[in-house]
Structure 1
Amino acid sequence: MRTSAFAPAEVPSGESYHTLARTTRSRWWMTPLTLLVFALLLSVLWMGVVLAMTIVSVIGGSGLAPDSMSIGVIATLAFGLASTALLIPIVFFLVRVVQWRRIGSLMSVEGTLRWSWLGRCLVLAIGPVALCLLLLWAPSDTLVAGTAPEAVSSVAVSGTGVLLGALLVIFLVVPFQAAAEEMTLRGMVMQLVGALVSRESTSAAARVLRSPWPAILASGTLFACLYAAVHPGNVWTTAALAVLGVAMAWLTWYTGGIEAAVGLHLVNSLVQYTLVVYDGRIDEIGTGAVVGAGLPPGAGTPFGLVFTVVQAGLFVLLVVVSARRRGVRRVSP
């Protein structure tokens, strides 16, 4: 059977997740080209979001002057979450067109998103997230005063309509936002690092880069480094992001796919955003105060870092045990 020259490269056999981008069509220049196109598309996305917010603001009756432009809190929330979710088509384009391989190789070693395993990971994430909530709401003399959420809900602040509207946006968009961040960080970044050297190279640097650890550390700490550059004073949040990122990157390599990382990220984000909305702090979502990276509630304090370590460690343990029992594939068939 003849194979079309335009057909995407198949998932290479016998490879770990971080090396799936090293296909028969991969070339040395694909990694820098991918990063360049990614930067250009991000710029276009940013300009598009700004333009859309401006149009919504003008339709809502605001002027074009910067100090007069304003949009509702629900629209601001929707734009903020949707702008991250739009990373999905960008990453798909980079994988399918720039790297010329199947989109499924970004999901798992089986070349597709393993839905049943994703559902299992979502269930496994509930316990660690619930444990952190119990720790957060423990009496202040047990932990630290001021870590529990405020007792003033957004119903009292803005009304029931705002609360329900915000929750609707969160439950509709956050699943895509969580998946987009994991596809980008734990997926594309990890596989870009794993594709830096060819299979034939025998140099010491090549042997190091073939190890999963450079890819795990790069994809696990990239967001923490970016956050630290923008918010240099929030050291506890930066540390928590690094801990959670490395743990989820290791799980992605160990389980051969992004499902576990998406599971914890999604459950954490839904809980965190719901609590923030209930507290009447919708405008803090997406800022340095409330980071949409799947951190447990209470982030930004020393105890938030402790919560992250406990939650990530327990989730890793549960996922590893479940993956072994279910025989989850770790290398491509």
Structure 2
Amino acid sequence: MSDQHPGHDAWPTRPEQPYPPQQGYPPQSQQPYGQQPSPQPGQPGPYAQQPYGQQPYAQQPYAQQPYGPPAGYPALAVRAPKPSPLPDHPVIYQQLLRGGRHRWWKPILSIVMFVAVVFVLINLLSLILIPIGIATGHSADLAQFVDRILDPKAGMGPLTFAFTNLSLIVLIPVAMFTVWAVHRTPPRYLISVEGRFRWRWFGRCLALLVPLWLVYLGIGFLTDPPTGARPEHWVVLMIMVVLTTPLQAAGEEFAFRGFLGQVIGSWFRKPIVAALAPLPFSVGLFALAHGSLHVWILVDLGAFALATYLLMWRTGGLEAGIALHAVNNVLIMVITLYLGGFEEGFVSSDTTGSWSAALMSVAVNGLVLALLLWQARRAKITRRYQPSVPAETPVASGYATLPG
């Protein structure tokens, strides 16, 4: 055998005949590629066995598929927006709780909750006196010490005065918490129909009331001078009066004018009925809460409560009533602390009055009411709540949840 590779001619040659063509390939037409005639619907194409227009994908085009989850999957549901707790139309102050979530039973629940929370908080405040009594050496007579502090008739010392004011200041957060928890209304709308404390209007009320009330109290002290002596801790009490008495006055306005006015007024659809229905409760409970049942004391306190209620109604907020209440309480206490008769300024169960003092109170409160309402018209104070966006307007939501 030769060690050399065979020559080129020794290799087998490629067969002269091509492989048999595949069925359907190449196209039967002899025209060059790109010049084939366009296939017509219903005619067989060169690469498929079915005519054009009858392909499986053409039977159910994508554009005709229904949108949504696959069959058997639960459908998505868009959550409807909750109604607004505020009214969707202009209303007076007493109707601010008549929003989309108002129910007839909510005012009853509000009153029950308000009384219960106030009762709990006042008892918690009284418990603070126990460590104070122990720290001041009253461990042996701790019960008598606590009872003496809680009784204003035993003497209005710094501890008694502080407890008295704090028990009224807590009415502010309790009233605001209750309208939020039960009615879901923003607590700021308990202040005014604008949802804020109108400080400029409040300052205008103070500027008018302070000089007028100084004249009124001066006449009262001249005609009926106080007989009591200056308290021993009058400087400490003076500081406490300036710091806490305005808040104490505001607490009473929040409870007797704001809370009662809105809760009772929310039961009535007509504005005039909603405005007048809370009036006897606001005036009567305020007068009775001071303890005295003497007729002239009730007339005196009733005239004051009537003036502050009408100010709340006709100005759409508590600022004017708080100003009148704070000016009255602060000026009386400051004057009596310096001149004497501090404890005589507090109304208790045995306090009596006179017809002349009651008549003077009615006249002065009527004059103050007329002057403040005149100033409110000049200052163009907003009296009604004005919704910015109607509550019934549907709001688009991007959230979706599964039913159930």
CA 1:22–1:68: 2 relative to 1, 3 Å = closer
Matched AA of 1:240 = D
Residue 264 (structure 2) aligns with: 193
> What are the ranges of 5 or more consecutive residues in structure 1 without an aligned counterpart?
141-146, 200-206, 292-298
Tell me, yes or no, if structure 1 residue 62 matches structure 2 residue 122: no
**Cα distance change of structure 1 residues 137 and 283 upon mapping to structure 2, 3 Å threshold:** closer
**AA partner of residue 292 (structure 2):** H
Deviation at 1:177, TM superposition (A): 0.6
**Which among 352, 356, 367 is matched to residue 314 of structure 1?**
367
Map Cα deviations across residues 249-298 of structure 1 (whole Å, 9 max, x no partner): 0111011111110010000000112233235555566551799xxxxxxx
Q: Matched residues in 2 for 1:105 and 1:68: separation?
A: 41
Secondary structure of the corresponding residue to residue 67 of structure 1: helix
The corresponding residue for 1:102 is 186
Say whether residues 1:25 and 2:109 are aligned partners: no
CA offsets per residue over residues 101-144 of structure 1, 9 Å max, x none? 01121111112111111111112211331221232133x5xxxx
Amino acid at match of 1:192: V
Q: 1:249 to 1:194 in 2, by over 3 A?
A: same
Indicate whether 1:42 and 2:118 are aligned.
yes
- Partner deviation per Cα, 1:117-176 (whole Å, 9 max, x = no partner): 1111112211331221232133x5xxxxxx11238433xxx2xxx111101111111111
Q: By percentage of residues, which structure has more helix?
A: 1
Q: Report the equivalent of 2:326.
A: 266
Per-residue CA deviation, residues 215-248 of structure 1 (Å, 9 max, x unaligned), is 2332222211344xx432x221111111111111
Of 242-251 and 208-217, the range deviating more from structure 2: 208-217
- The answer as to 2:379 corresponding to 1:326 is yes
Alignment of 1:226-265 (within 5 A): 226-227=289-290, 230-232=291-293, 234-265=294-325
RMSD: 2.6
Matched positions, count: 300
- Alignment correspondent of 1:149: 226
Contact residue 247 and residue 312 of structure 1 kept, 8 A = yes
The answer to whether the Cα contact below 8 Å between 1:193 and 1:209 also exists between their aligned partners in 2 is no
With 87-96 and 46-55 compared, the bigger mean Cα shift is at: 46-55
Give the distance between the partners of 1:177 and 1:104, measured in 2 at CA. 18
Give runs of ≥4 in structure 1 deviating > 4 Å.
2-5, 68-72, 279-287
- Relative to 1, partners in 2 of residues 1:212 and 1:96: Cα closer, same or farther, differing over 3 Å? same
Query: 1:219: which partner in 2?
Result: 282
Match for residue 255 of structure 2 among 181, 184, 187: 184
Q: Distance in 1 between matches of 2:316 and 2:145?
A: 50
TM-score of the aligned structures, taking structure 2 as reference length? 0.68
Q: How high is the TM-score relative to the length of structure 1?
A: 0.81
Query: Structure 1's 86 and 19: CA in aligned 2 closer, same or farther, altered over 3 A?
Result: same
Cα distance, 1:187 vs. partner?
0.3
* Structure-2 separation of matches of 1:188 and 1:290: 29
Q: Partners in 1 of 2:376 and 2:350 — Cα distance?
A: 32
Q: Which runs of 5 or more residues in structure 2 are unaligned? A: 1-78, 150-155, 387-404
The letter for the 1-side match of 2:280 is: L
Tell me if structure 1 keeps the 8 A contact 2:300–2:357. yes
Give the superposition deviation at 1:16. 0.7
Structure 1, 103-112 or 263-272: larger mean CA deviation: 103-112
Contact 1:81 1:174 in 2 (8 A): yes
Q: Percent identity?
A: 28
1:302: how far off? 2.1
Larger displacement relative to structure 2 (102-111 or 50-59): 50-59
After superposition, the Cα gap between the structure-2 partners of 1:83 and 1:225, relative to the gap in structure 1 and judged at 3 Å, is: closer
